[in-house]
Structure 1
Amino acid sequence: MTAQNQDIDHREASRLNWARMALDDGGVLLQRASVDAGFRSYWRTLGTGLSRIVMDSPPEHDDVRLWLRMRDLLESGGVRVPQVLARDVDAGFLLLEDLGGPTLAQVMTPDTADEWFDAAIEQLLRLQAIEPPAGMGEFGEALLQRDAGLFEEWFLRRHLGLELDCDDTDRLELVQRRLMDNALSQARVMTHRDYMPRNLMPVLPGPAVLDFQDCVRGPVAYDAISLFKDAFLSWPLERVDGWLARYHARARQSGLPVPALKTFQRDADWLGIQRHLKIMGIFSRLRYRDGKTKYLPDIPRFITYLEEVLPRYPELRALQELMDSRIKPALQTKAIA
């Protein structure tokens, strides 16, 4: 047995022993509840009592204290978050309420989307109304530059095998700079950064918000466009525009610092483009660095998102031209191969 396998076996035994101790039930078993893109994992208890969730955050990779601090902050603002029933922060184990199996992404239908998005908007407005604490991370220049680098390094170079010439590089940098300047110019609020149906649980009152540990002070339009232009679930553009307008009206009524609707629409569209490029880079990195293959099949979703919105903005024409001349042909070649 390798040292790595020994470590895995030891972690599994520690997780199970801790769950049995926390529940005072020596017969409890654990079943994988969900797979995370990072190091954190979730396990559902099986036994005679109420089902619970064990969150396993290996301390060498993930400090559970950060998750707990953010959970408490969001709850203080009225956001529906998982309840913590027991904890061992040094070992990286938490016992949580079980919010069920399917996420909002798995239960939403075209007929129920309006109702669920209204509820998700309500939770988002509560989150955005929370004053970001001193020292909170900033969705600023450094983060935006890192995001831009993900697209070029992992999607263009590693996945597509493209090396841009000087002209293409200059055009891409110009677009990235315009997207960054737009993000930096927006009013700042508490920002989840992954506020999408996959991270929302369909419980009432709710939906409950998950994966919030990386909240930052960021642009006001970011979470709204993330909600409606999801990485794993697509909707017709006219419905997305309608939901953005609905969010905008409620945000203004709540006193959040959103600009006029026309400006907000552009801000949201441009943040969406920035986010789509970043996620294409992240999904490529998950495949080639981490060996996680299930994310790349969603790449065409982002190409569609870009093709829907880029024609609205002549200022970003260079990205459309790059897609037409280099990116889409390379994707087609890769698909045929």
Structure 2
Amino acid sequence: MTVSHTAAGAAHSPAPAQGQRQAALQRWLAGLGLDPARLRAIPGDASLRHYWRLEAPARIIMDAPPAVEDTLPFLRMAWRLRQLGLRAPRILAADTAQGFLLLEDLGSLDLKGALDQGADAAAWYQAAIRAIVRMQAGGRRYAAHPPLPPFDVERLRMELDLFPDWYLQRHLGLALDASERALLENTFAKLIRNALEQPQVWVHRDYHARNLMCLDDGDVGILDFQDAVLGPLSYDLVSLLLDRYWDWPADWLDARIQDYLDLARKAGLPVGDDARFRLQLQRMGLQRNLKIVGIFARLNYRDGKAAYLDMIPRFWGYVRTAAATDPDFAAFSDWLARLPAPGEGKS
């Protein structure tokens, strides 16, 4: 999950870090001719990184402790996206040993904020879809060195296991019997096969409204791309369309899927026929949203971020709908229907 470069804190933050790290960051910024006292904190989310905004000149500072995160994947992917003409922030300075980055500021209006203010949802989603297609098509032409990590069986399974480990067992307190474990194994195998059978392209992995900045020229700026992988064609589109913020009408979603298909075909992407792609997209959504339900439970129990439990019902609805409308998942759908609804389990 992520933090977006949205509006900064209401007051100047007294310190950008604690102890020795605070002093190191202040020295680094001073060496760049920047005044640490003028930083404002950018509110965090589920990320272990910290972000700060500097005004006049407008800059973003990323603090990613090396013990927590390697900044090289972020630096590499920022460069790659910009090579494709996408609006990732420019890297203005970097200290990879300490985990400090100075970034271009893409503004404070993300897609969530823009739509909350009444912006044209279809127009901005079309801009976001154009960026997906540009990334996918460009990534097929451009050989990344080192290559992006593959979204392989191990990685897909690790994500899916979040659902039984953290939601079913930790949150609901269920002890799965042999038949239930077999049902999950069968379901997960089908979802993994669906992902691996799709054309493999560059995948952002967290492509949603808080990571997309609405720029003045109508394009979208892209953030939080350091976990990019080589993975299934439908992944980023379903991340965009089925998010935590809005329940779009079915006909609106269908129109956005068609926007993607039209642009993808023009770009030469191997999307196949419409019906097959839509089925792949639906199953990709089932995989991703099972993972999200598990992640949100983990954020509560492991990280003490209880607000994420309140977000589970929307994603639970996505899971139920996807399973209930796919005959290959009828048994799984019937089993889900017997589980407590979100809010009825342990809290």
Aligned counterparts of 2:205 and 2:48: Cα–Cα separation in 1: 18
Tell me which of 105, 115, 123 is aligned to 2:112.
105
Counterpart in the other structure of 1:3 = none
Superposed CA deviations along residues 20-65 of structure 1, whole A, max 9, x for unmatched, are 332x24474222113142321110125xx22311111111111112
Aligned counterparts of 1:111 and 1:138: Cα–Cα separation in 2: 36
Letter of the 1:190 counterpart: W
Counterpart in the other structure of 1:86 = 93
TM-score of the superposition, structure 2-length normalised? 0.88
Alignment of 1:51-200 (within 5 A): 51-108=58-115, 112-129=120-137, 130-131=139-140, 133=144, 135-200=147-212
Letter of the 1:124 counterpart: I
* Residue 73 of structure 1, CA deviation: 0.9
Q: Secondary structure at the match of 1:334?
A: coil
Instruction: Report sequence identity in percent.
Output: 38
Tell me which of 25, 30, 39 is aligned to 1:20.
30
Greater Cα offset, 232-241 or 71-80: 232-241
Q: What RMSD, in angstroms, separates the aligned Cα atoms of the two structures?
A: 1.9
Counterpart in the other structure of 1:301 = 314
Superposed CA deviations along residues 89-116 of structure 1, whole A, max 9, x for unmatched, are 2211111122222321221257611100
Given the superposition, is the C-alpha separation of residues 111 and 93 from structure 1 closer, same or farther in structure 2, using an over 3 Å criterion? Answer: closer
Normalized per residue, the structure richer in helix is: 1
1:334 maps onto 2:345 in alignment: yes
* Residue 184 of structure 1, CA deviation: 1.0
Superposed CA deviations along residues 220-268 of structure 1, whole A, max 9, x for unmatched, are 1111111111134432232112211211111011101111110000000
Greater Cα offset, 101-110 or 174-183: 101-110
Aligned counterparts of 1:324 and 1:36: Cα–Cα separation in 2: 31
Given the superposition, is the C-alpha separation of residues 12 and 172 from structure 1 closer, same or farther in structure 2, using an over 3 Å criterion? Answer: same
Counterpart in the other structure of 2:293 = 280
* Residue 315 of structure 1, CA deviation: 0.8
Q: Secondary structure at the match of 1:43?
A: strand
1:41 maps onto 2:50 in alignment: yes
Letter of the 1:227 counterpart: L
Unaligned runs of 5+ in 2: 1-16
TM-score of the superposition, structure 1-length normalised? 0.90
Aligned counterparts of 1:27 and 1:199: Cα–Cα separation in 2: 25
Aligned counterparts of 1:202 and 1:10: Cα–Cα separation in 2: 36
Letter of the 1:58 counterpart: P
Aligned residues: 325
Aligned counterparts of 2:173 and 2:59: Cα–Cα separation in 1: 45
* Residue 133 of structure 1, CA deviation: 2.2
Runs of 4 or more, structure 1, over 6 Å off, are none
1:213 maps onto 2:226 in alignment: yes
* Residue 298 of structure 1, CA deviation: 0.6
Aligned counterparts of 1:63 and 1:243: Cα–Cα separation in 2: 35
Aligned counterparts of 2:179 and 2:100: Cα–Cα separation in 1: 51
Asked whether the equivalents of residues 232 and 298 of structure 1 are also in contact (C-alpha less than 8 Å), the reply is: no
Counterpart in the other structure of 1:315 = 328
Asked whether the equivalents of residues 33 and 101 of structure 1 are also in contact (C-alpha less than 8 Å), the reply is: no
* Residue 280 of structure 1, CA deviation: 0.9
